[in-house]
Structure 1
Amino acid sequence: MEFPPRPASNRLVSPRDDAQSPWQSWAIVRTAIWSVCYFAFYFTQQVAELLAPLLLVLGLGWAILPHIVQAITTSAASADPQARDIMNHVAGTIPAQMTIAGHLLTPSSLIFDGFLLMALAAIGATLSALSARNM
Protein backbone atom coordinates (compact mmCIF):
# COMPACT_ATOMS: atom_id res chain seq x y z
CA MET A 1 0.00 0.00 0.00
CA GLU A 2 1.48 3.27 -1.10
CA PHE A 3 0.48 6.63 0.29
CA PRO A 4 0.03 9.63 -1.95
CA PRO A 5 2.61 12.41 -1.54
CA ARG A 6 1.65 15.17 0.80
CA PRO A 7 1.36 18.72 -0.38
CA ALA A 8 4.20 21.08 0.55
CA SER A 9 2.02 22.94 3.05
CA ASN A 10 1.57 19.78 5.17
CA ARG A 11 5.24 18.87 5.53
CA LEU A 12 6.64 18.72 9.04
CA VAL A 13 9.82 20.63 8.22
CA SER A 14 9.61 23.90 6.41
CA PRO A 15 12.59 25.55 4.73
CA ARG A 16 12.59 28.28 7.39
CA ASP A 17 13.09 25.76 10.23
CA ASP A 18 16.69 25.13 9.18
CA ALA A 19 17.70 28.76 9.68
CA GLN A 20 18.23 29.85 13.28
CA SER A 21 16.24 32.80 14.44
CA PRO A 22 17.85 35.44 16.66
CA TRP A 23 15.80 34.14 19.60
CA GLN A 24 17.27 30.66 19.27
CA SER A 25 20.79 32.09 19.21
CA TRP A 26 20.05 34.19 22.27
CA ALA A 27 18.68 31.13 24.09
CA ILE A 28 21.90 29.23 23.41
CA VAL A 29 24.05 32.14 24.65
CA ARG A 30 21.82 32.57 27.71
CA THR A 31 22.09 28.88 28.56
CA ALA A 32 25.87 29.01 28.17
CA ILE A 33 26.13 32.02 30.50
CA TRP A 34 23.93 30.40 33.14
CA SER A 35 25.91 27.16 32.82
CA VAL A 36 29.16 28.99 33.55
CA CYS A 37 27.53 30.77 36.50
CA TYR A 38 26.18 27.46 37.82
CA PHE A 39 29.64 25.90 37.58
CA ALA A 40 31.29 28.82 39.39
CA PHE A 41 28.73 28.92 42.20
CA TYR A 42 28.68 25.15 42.66
CA PHE A 43 32.48 24.92 42.62
CA THR A 44 32.72 27.69 45.21
CA GLN A 45 30.17 25.89 47.35
CA GLN A 46 32.10 22.62 47.20
CA VAL A 47 35.43 24.23 48.11
CA ALA A 48 33.83 26.16 50.98
CA GLU A 49 32.12 23.02 52.30
CA LEU A 50 35.46 21.23 52.23
CA LEU A 51 37.52 23.93 53.98
CA ALA A 52 35.00 25.25 56.54
CA PRO A 53 35.09 22.22 58.88
CA LEU A 54 38.87 22.02 58.55
CA LEU A 55 39.33 25.63 59.65
CA LEU A 56 36.81 25.23 62.48
CA VAL A 57 38.52 22.11 63.84
CA LEU A 58 41.98 23.66 63.56
CA GLY A 59 40.86 26.87 65.26
CA LEU A 60 39.02 25.09 68.07
CA GLY A 61 41.89 22.67 68.62
CA TRP A 62 44.42 25.48 68.70
CA ALA A 63 42.24 27.46 71.14
CA ILE A 64 41.68 24.49 73.48
CA LEU A 65 45.19 23.01 73.39
CA PRO A 66 46.84 25.53 75.79
CA HIS A 67 44.04 24.97 78.32
CA ILE A 68 44.44 21.19 78.12
CA VAL A 69 48.22 21.42 78.54
CA GLN A 70 47.78 23.82 81.47
CA ALA A 71 45.33 21.43 83.13
CA ILE A 72 47.76 18.56 82.71
CA THR A 73 50.60 20.71 84.09
CA THR A 74 48.64 21.70 87.21
CA SER A 75 47.55 18.12 87.84
CA ALA A 76 51.15 16.98 87.48
CA ALA A 77 52.36 19.61 89.96
CA SER A 78 52.62 17.00 92.66
CA ALA A 79 54.59 14.76 90.34
CA ASP A 80 58.25 14.85 89.46
CA PRO A 81 59.70 18.38 89.16
CA GLN A 82 61.38 17.49 85.85
CA ALA A 83 58.05 16.41 84.35
CA ARG A 84 56.49 19.65 85.56
CA ASP A 85 59.29 21.67 83.93
CA ILE A 86 58.85 19.80 80.65
CA MET A 87 55.08 20.40 80.67
CA ASN A 88 55.59 24.09 81.41
CA HIS A 89 58.05 24.27 78.52
CA VAL A 90 55.53 22.57 76.18
CA ALA A 91 52.78 24.94 77.33
CA GLY A 92 55.06 27.90 76.61
CA THR A 93 55.87 26.75 73.07
CA ILE A 94 52.25 26.83 71.85
CA PRO A 95 51.99 30.11 69.93
CA ALA A 96 49.09 32.50 70.42
CA GLN A 97 49.41 33.69 66.81
CA MET A 98 51.33 32.79 63.68
CA THR A 99 52.28 34.73 60.58
CA ILE A 100 52.25 32.63 57.42
CA ALA A 101 53.06 34.34 54.11
CA GLY A 102 52.20 37.71 55.59
CA HIS A 103 48.86 36.56 57.01
CA LEU A 104 48.30 36.70 60.75
CA LEU A 105 46.59 33.55 62.01
CA THR A 106 45.02 33.20 65.44
CA PRO A 107 42.62 30.57 66.76
CA SER A 108 39.73 33.02 66.72
CA SER A 109 40.52 34.10 63.14
CA LEU A 110 40.49 30.46 61.98
CA ILE A 111 37.13 29.89 63.67
CA PHE A 112 35.73 33.09 62.17
CA ASP A 113 37.03 32.12 58.71
CA GLY A 114 35.36 28.71 59.10
CA PHE A 115 32.02 30.39 59.79
CA LEU A 116 32.54 32.74 56.84
CA LEU A 117 33.19 29.75 54.59
CA MET A 118 29.97 28.13 55.81
CA ALA A 119 28.12 31.32 54.90
CA LEU A 120 29.85 31.31 51.49
CA ALA A 121 28.74 27.69 50.98
CA ALA A 122 25.14 28.66 51.75
CA ILE A 123 25.31 31.59 49.34
CA GLY A 124 26.86 29.34 46.68
CA ALA A 125 24.08 26.78 47.13
CA THR A 126 21.42 29.46 46.78
CA LEU A 127 22.98 31.06 43.71
CA SER A 128 23.64 27.70 42.02
CA ALA A 129 19.99 26.75 42.56
CA LEU A 130 18.87 30.06 41.06
CA SER A 131 21.18 29.69 38.08
CA ALA A 132 20.03 26.09 37.54
CA ARG A 133 16.45 27.33 37.50
CA ASN A 134 17.31 29.97 34.90
CA MET A 135 19.15 27.57 32.58
Structure 2
Amino acid sequence: MDQPPNANYARPLAFSSRAADGSPLAFRLVRTGIWSVCYFAFYFIQQLAELFAPLLLIAGVLWKVLPALVGALSHAAVAADPQAKDAITNVAAAIPQHIVVAGHDLTASGLIWDGILLMGLAAAGATLATLAGKSI
Protein backbone atom coordinates (compact mmCIF):
# COMPACT_ATOMS: atom_id res chain seq x y z
CA MET A 1 0.00 0.00 0.00
CA ASP A 2 1.58 3.24 -1.13
CA GLN A 3 1.33 6.39 0.96
CA PRO A 4 1.04 9.77 -0.69
CA PRO A 5 4.26 11.75 -0.48
CA ASN A 6 2.76 14.58 1.63
CA ALA A 7 1.25 12.33 4.33
CA ASN A 8 2.61 12.89 7.83
CA TYR A 9 1.19 9.91 9.65
CA ALA A 10 4.26 9.34 11.79
CA ARG A 11 4.52 12.94 13.09
CA PRO A 12 3.57 13.02 16.79
CA LEU A 13 1.37 15.67 18.37
CA ALA A 14 3.47 18.59 19.51
CA PHE A 15 2.80 20.13 22.91
CA SER A 16 4.75 23.26 22.23
CA SER A 17 4.25 26.84 23.37
CA ARG A 18 2.40 27.65 20.18
CA ALA A 19 -1.24 26.88 19.51
CA ALA A 20 -2.80 26.24 16.15
CA ASP A 21 -3.48 29.97 15.80
CA GLY A 22 0.15 30.86 16.40
CA SER A 23 -0.27 32.64 19.75
CA PRO A 24 2.27 32.02 22.52
CA LEU A 25 1.35 29.99 25.58
CA ALA A 26 1.62 32.95 28.00
CA PHE A 27 -0.79 35.01 25.90
CA ARG A 28 -3.29 32.15 25.83
CA LEU A 29 -3.05 31.72 29.61
CA VAL A 30 -3.58 35.45 30.23
CA ARG A 31 -6.51 35.52 27.80
CA THR A 32 -8.06 32.47 29.44
CA GLY A 33 -7.61 34.05 32.88
CA ILE A 34 -9.27 37.30 31.79
CA TRP A 35 -12.20 35.48 30.20
CA SER A 36 -12.54 33.30 33.31
CA VAL A 37 -12.80 36.38 35.53
CA CYS A 38 -15.33 37.91 33.13
CA TYR A 39 -17.34 34.69 33.12
CA PHE A 40 -17.35 34.62 36.93
CA ALA A 41 -18.45 38.27 37.15
CA PHE A 42 -21.24 37.90 34.60
CA TYR A 43 -22.50 34.66 36.15
CA PHE A 44 -22.38 36.14 39.67
CA ILE A 45 -24.35 39.22 38.56
CA GLN A 46 -26.84 36.94 36.85
CA GLN A 47 -27.35 34.90 40.02
CA LEU A 48 -27.86 37.99 42.19
CA ALA A 49 -30.30 39.49 39.71
CA GLU A 50 -32.25 36.23 39.48
CA LEU A 51 -32.47 36.16 43.28
CA PHE A 52 -33.62 39.74 43.87
CA ALA A 53 -35.75 40.39 40.76
CA PRO A 54 -38.75 38.28 41.84
CA LEU A 55 -38.51 39.51 45.43
CA LEU A 56 -38.64 43.16 44.38
CA LEU A 57 -41.34 42.53 41.79
CA ILE A 58 -43.61 40.65 44.20
CA ALA A 59 -43.05 43.16 47.01
CA GLY A 60 -43.86 46.04 44.66
CA VAL A 61 -47.02 44.42 43.32
CA LEU A 62 -48.25 43.53 46.81
CA TRP A 63 -47.53 47.05 48.05
CA LYS A 64 -49.35 48.52 45.04
CA VAL A 65 -52.39 46.24 45.45
CA LEU A 66 -52.67 46.46 49.26
CA PRO A 67 -54.36 49.91 49.41
CA ALA A 68 -56.92 48.82 46.80
CA LEU A 69 -57.69 45.65 48.76
CA VAL A 70 -58.06 47.57 52.02
CA GLY A 71 -60.29 50.10 50.25
CA ALA A 72 -62.50 47.34 48.89
CA LEU A 73 -62.68 45.82 52.37
CA SER A 74 -63.72 49.15 53.87
CA HIS A 75 -66.55 49.47 51.33
CA ALA A 76 -67.74 45.98 52.27
CA ALA A 77 -67.57 46.85 55.97
CA VAL A 78 -69.78 49.95 55.64
CA ALA A 79 -72.92 47.95 56.20
CA ALA A 80 -71.43 45.66 58.83
CA ASP A 81 -70.12 47.73 61.70
CA PRO A 82 -69.09 51.39 61.98
CA GLN A 83 -66.23 50.51 64.34
CA ALA A 84 -64.83 47.99 61.84
CA LYS A 85 -65.01 50.65 59.15
CA ASP A 86 -63.05 53.07 61.34
CA ALA A 87 -60.41 50.41 62.07
CA ILE A 88 -60.05 49.56 58.37
CA THR A 89 -59.81 53.25 57.47
CA ASN A 90 -57.03 53.68 60.04
CA VAL A 91 -55.16 50.70 58.58
CA ALA A 92 -55.56 52.09 55.05
CA ALA A 93 -54.19 55.44 56.20
CA ALA A 94 -51.20 53.71 57.80
CA ILE A 95 -50.01 52.19 54.51
CA PRO A 96 -47.19 54.47 53.30
CA GLN A 97 -46.88 55.74 49.75
CA HIS A 98 -43.10 55.71 49.98
CA ILE A 99 -40.41 54.62 52.44
CA VAL A 100 -36.99 56.21 52.86
CA VAL A 101 -34.29 53.62 53.59
CA ALA A 102 -30.71 54.82 53.94
CA GLY A 103 -31.45 57.88 51.85
CA HIS A 104 -33.22 55.95 49.09
CA ASP A 105 -36.88 56.68 48.41
CA LEU A 106 -38.72 53.38 47.81
CA THR A 107 -42.14 53.28 46.18
CA ALA A 108 -44.31 50.43 44.96
CA SER A 109 -43.87 51.43 41.32
CA GLY A 110 -40.13 51.81 41.86
CA LEU A 111 -39.86 48.29 43.27
CA ILE A 112 -41.79 46.89 40.31
CA TRP A 113 -39.56 48.77 37.87
CA ASP A 114 -36.41 47.65 39.71
CA GLY A 115 -37.59 44.02 39.54
CA ILE A 116 -38.14 44.29 35.79
CA LEU A 117 -34.73 45.92 35.30
CA LEU A 118 -33.08 43.16 37.33
CA MET A 119 -34.74 40.57 35.07
CA GLY A 120 -33.17 42.34 32.10
CA LEU A 121 -29.82 42.40 33.91
CA ALA A 122 -30.12 38.65 34.55
CA ALA A 123 -30.77 38.04 30.86
CA ALA A 124 -27.80 40.22 29.89
CA GLY A 125 -25.60 38.42 32.44
CA ALA A 126 -26.62 35.04 31.03
CA THR A 127 -25.86 36.19 27.49
CA LEU A 128 -22.48 37.67 28.42
CA ALA A 129 -21.56 34.63 30.53
CA THR A 130 -22.33 32.38 27.56
CA LEU A 131 -20.20 34.50 25.24
CA ALA A 132 -17.37 34.60 27.78
CA GLY A 133 -17.64 30.83 28.26
CA LYS A 134 -17.28 30.28 24.54
CA SER A 135 -14.25 32.56 24.43
CA ILE A 136 -12.42 30.59 27.12
The bucket for the TM-score relative to the shorter chain is: 0.7 to 0.9
1:81 correspondence with 2:55: no
2:104 corresponds to: 103
Deviation at 1:81, TM superposition (A): 1.1
> Which 4+ runs in 1 deviate beyond 2 A?
10-14
Aligned residues: 123
In the alignment, which residue of structure 2 is the partner of 1:71? 72
Counterpart check, 1:61 vs 2:62: yes
Letter in 2 for 1:92: A
| Deviation (angstroms), 1:79 | 1.2
Mapped partners of 2:110, 2:41: distance in 1: 26
What secondary structure, in the 3-state scheme, does the structure 1 residue paired with 2:24 have? helix
Gap runs ≥5 in structure 2: 1-9
Q: Which residue of the partner structure matches residue 7 of structure 2? A: none
Identity of aligned residues (%): 51
When the two chains are superposed, the root-mean-square deviation of aligned CA atoms in Å is 1.9
Q: Which residue of structure 2 aligns with residue 23 of structure 1?
A: 24
Q: Secondary structure at the match of 2:97?
A: coil
Aligned counterpart, 1:118: 119
Q: Give how far 1:114 is off.
A: 0.3
Answer 1 or 2: which has greater helix percent: 1
1:103 Cα deviation after fit: 0.3
Q: Deviations over 1:64-109 (max 9, x none)?
A: 0000000000000011111110000000000011111000000000
2:64 partner amino acid: A
The offset of 1:12, in angstroms, is: 6.1
Q: Give the match for residue 39 of structure 1.
A: 40
The TM-score, its normalising length taken from structure 2, stands at 0.84
How far apart are the structure 2 equivalents of 1:88 and 1:11? 88
**Correspondence list, 1:8-19, <5 A:** 17=16
Aligned equivalents of 2:113, 2:80: Cα separation in 1: 39
Which residue identity lines up with residue 77 of structure 1 in the other structure? V
Q: Match of 1:6?
A: none
Give distance in 2, aligned partners of 1:75 and 1:81.
11
Shift of 1:11: 9.8
CA distance in 1, matches of 2:97, 2:89: 15
Unaligned regions of 5+ residues in structure 1, if any?
1-9
1:37-63 deviation digits (Å, cap 9, x = unpaired): 000000000100010000000000000
